[in-house]
Amino acid sequence: MTDKMEVLNARLFSVDRDTLFRAFADTELLSLWWGPDGFTNRIGTFDFRPGGTWRITMTASNGTEFHNVSTFREVIVPERIVFEHHEPIHVYTMEIDFTEQADGTRLNWRMLFDATEENLELKKFIAAANEQNFDRLEDLLLQISQDR
């Protein structure tokens, strides 16, 4: 039994693991797809190593800015990324796993939140937002493959 709330999203992407991992590790690419629909991003700091800080400002379509701060806990190229998201509102741990398969790479996102009443109410929203994130990533990967 755990006092954590889990949000799990997974999708198979039809690219190799290195390409999928690079979409996260390359800040130019990451800024193009991170976040749900309607968001744009500015990455201020991206110290991509255990103990490194990640600062990203996500701007909603209405102009509201969200200054996010995270700390990387684990980076295993091209297999796994773990970070702790500290602010602004949702404190959570994100585990991202990249698993090669015959027809592409499976991306698993596991988010762990404290099981507060507020977080439990947001669970469906967060899961849906993650799917939008995956849609944006898939669109970017398709664009990259067409540009080659």
Residue 58 and residue 73: Cα distance in Å, rounded?
A: 22
Average pLDDT, the chain: 94
Cβ-based neighbour number of residue 21 at 10 Å: 22
Residue 50 and residue 82: Cα distance in Å, rounded?
A: 9
Could you give all domains of the chain from N- to C-terminal order, each with its CATH number?
A: 4-147 (3.30.530.20)
Confidence of residue 146 (pLDDT cuts 50, 70, 90): confident
Per-residue model confidence (pLDDT) at position 145: 85
Which helix (H) or strand (E) segment holds residue 57: the answer is strand 53-59
Confidence of residue 137 (pLDDT cuts 50, 70, 90): very high
pTM: 0.93
> Which residue has tokens 């959570």?
92
The answer for residues whose C-beta is within 8 angstroms of residue 75's C-beta and 6 or more apart is 48, 49, 50, 52, 81, 82
Residue 12 has pLDDT above 50, yes or no: yes
Confidence of residue 2 (pLDDT cuts 50, 70, 90): low
